[in-house]
C-alpha cells in the first residue's frame, strides 16, 4: 500500500496542483491520497478519473493529517527540500511495509519532519510537489508504473503521431 498525505490544501490557490498530485500519485503506482482540507469537488474529479480510466485509487478529503501519521502502520516519508538525498533516503525504506508519502501545500509544521521516518529532499531547491511525488514513485517502484494495468473503460494506446483511445469492449 502506498498512500499520499497532502497537507495544507488551500481551496482556491492549490486546487490544480493538488489535483495533479493526486493524478500523478495514481498514475505512478500509489493506492490512495489523503487531503487535509475537505474538498468534495476534488474528490469527485479524482473519482471520475478512476471510474473512466480504471484502477482502485481512492481519495479522502478533510482528514486530520497528524492522526493519519500517528496511526500509520508502516513507513512515513516526508518529501521536502530539507532532507536527505533521494538515493540515500530510498535506501532506508523498508519495502515490505506500507508507505505514506507526505507532501505539503503550505508550510509544513515541524511535527511532520519529526514524525516522518525519513525526510527526503528530491531536490535541495524550491520545486513542485507534483515533481517530487513523480520522481520518488518512479524510483521507489523502479519504473513499475510503466507496465501497470488499470483496466478502465478508456485506455490510451501509445501512438507516435495521434490519439488512440480504446473503449472497453472495442
- Tens-place pLDDT, residues 72-107: 999 999 999 889 999 999 999 999 899 999 998 877
Left (φ > 0), alpha (ψ -120 to 50) or beta: where does 99 sit?
beta
What pLDDT, on the 0 to 100 scale, is given for residue 12?
67
Residues 103 and 79: their CA atoms lie apart, in Å, by: 6
Longest dimension (CA), the chain: 52
HEC sequence for 11-49 = HHHHHHHHHHHHHHHHHCCCCEEEECCCCHHHHHHHHHH
Model confidence at 13, pLDDT cuts 50, 70, 90, reads: low
E strand or H helix that includes residue 5:
strand 2-7
- Please state, rounded to an integer, the average pLDDT across all residues of the chain: 91
Give residue 2's pLDDT band: very low, low, confident or very high (50, 70, 90): very high
**The three three-digit cell numbers of residue 78, written as one number:** 516526508
H-assigned helices in 3-162: 11-27, 40-53, 65-71, 86-91, 110-115, 129-140
HSE (side-chain half, CA atoms, 13 Å) at 15: 10
pTM: 0.90
Nearest to 135 by CA among 97, 159, 103: 103
In CATH terms, is domain 2-167 a member of 3.40.50.11060?
Answer: no
Amino acid at each position: 500500500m502506498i498512500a499520499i498525505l497532502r497537507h495544507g490544501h488551500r481551496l482556491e490557490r492549490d486546487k490544480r496542483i493538488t489535483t495533479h498530485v493526486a493524478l500523478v500519485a495514481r498514475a505512478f503506482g500509489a493506492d490512495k491520497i489523503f487531503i487535509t482540507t475537505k474538498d468534495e469537488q476534488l474528490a469527485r474529479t479524482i473519482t471520475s478519473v478512476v471510474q473512466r480510466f480504471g484502477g482502485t485509487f481512492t481519495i479522502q478529503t478533510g482528514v486530520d493529517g497528524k492522526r493519519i501519521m500517528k496511526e500509520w502502520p508502516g513507513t512515513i516519508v516526508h518529501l521536502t527540500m530539507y532532507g536527505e538525498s533521494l538515493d540515500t533516503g530510498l535506501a532506508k525504506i523498508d519495502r515490505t511495509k506500507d508507505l505514506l508519502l507526505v507532501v505539503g501545500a503550505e508550510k509544513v509544521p515541524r511535527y511532520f519532519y519529526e514524525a516522518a521516518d525519513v525526510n527526503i529532499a528530491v531536490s535541495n531547491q524550491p520545486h513542485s510537489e507534483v515533481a517530487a511525488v513523480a520522481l520518488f514513485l518512479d524510483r521507489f517502484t523502479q519504473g513499475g508504473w510503466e507496465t501497470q494495468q488499470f483496466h478502465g473503460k478508456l485506455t490510451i494506446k501509445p501512438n507516435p503521431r495521434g490519439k488512440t483511445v480504446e473503449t472497453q469492449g472495442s
